[in-house]
């Protein structure tokens, strides 16, 4: 599958992947509808470095390039290597990346640790969420 930058036409698929993850994750609170999520993704595209895998989209990653922080990173079918492919792409030409993951998301933390990220600090998120988060960082 090809890694590519998304177009506005990919926003529904990206939102669908995130929405499916929210629905399948018992501890995750829903604070926006799928439609709102799709709108937020579409509006954010011009302001983020985004990568998707596949057509239709099977995984996506959204990075704020100015601070090298990953804000969104979801796969439709975890365990297929899609996340590693996208993470390898965003690591190119960088010496540092950071991200936040939900503290209960042990599978994500295991993946990030395997990819060289280290836990830095736990913190309370901004409202409306109340699920504690873990900041992790990667340095080449």
pLDDT tens per residue, range 8-22: 999 999 999 999 999
d(CA 79, CA 49) in angstroms, rounded, equals 24
d(CA 108, CA 52) in angstroms, rounded, equals 18
State pLDDT tens for residues 35-93. Answer: 999 999 999 999 999 999 999 999 999 999 999 999 999 999 999 999 999 999 999 99
d(CA 14, CA 67) in angstroms, rounded, equals 22
Question: Based on the structure, what is the number of domains in the chain?
Answer: 1
Predicted local distance difference test score (pLDDT) of residue 39:
95
Predicted local distance difference test score (pLDDT) of residue 52:
98
Q: Give the pLDDT mean for 111-127.
A: 95
| CATH number of the domain encompassing residue 30 | 3.40.630.30
Q: Give Cα 108 distance to the centre of its chain.
A: 10
Predicted local distance difference test score (pLDDT) of residue 137:
98
Predicted local distance difference test score (pLDDT) of residue 31:
87
Residue 3, strand partner residues: 53
d(CA 56, CA 123) in angstroms, rounded, equals 35
pLDDT greater than 90 at residue 129: no
The answer to whether the beta carbons of residues 104 and 131 sit under 8 Å apart is: yes
Predicted local distance difference test score (pLDDT) of residue 128:
78
pLDDT greater than 90 at residue 1: no
Residue 80 domain boundaries: 3-139
74 Cβ contact partners less than 8 Å away, ≥ 6 residues apart: 14, 17, 18, 21, 59, 60
Predicted local distance difference test score (pLDDT) of residue 127:
82
């Amino acid at each position: 599958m090809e890694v590519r930058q998304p177009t506005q036409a990919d926003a529904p698929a990206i939102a669908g992947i995130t929405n499916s993850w929210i629905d399948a994750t018992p501890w995750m609170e829903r604070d926006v509808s799928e439609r709102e999520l799709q709108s937020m993704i579409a509006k954010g595209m011009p302001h983020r470095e985004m990568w998707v895998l596949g057509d239709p989209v099977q995984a996506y990653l959204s990075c704020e390039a100015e601070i090298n922080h990953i804000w969104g990173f979801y796969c439709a079918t975890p365990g297929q290597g899609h996340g590693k492919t996208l993470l390898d792409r965003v690591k190119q030409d960088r010496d540092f990346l950071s991200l936040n993951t939900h503290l209960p998301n042990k599978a994500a933390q295991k993946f990030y640790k395997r990819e060289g990220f280290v836990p830095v600090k736990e913190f309370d998120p901004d409202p409306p969420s109340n699920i504690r988060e873990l900041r992790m960082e990667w340095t080449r």
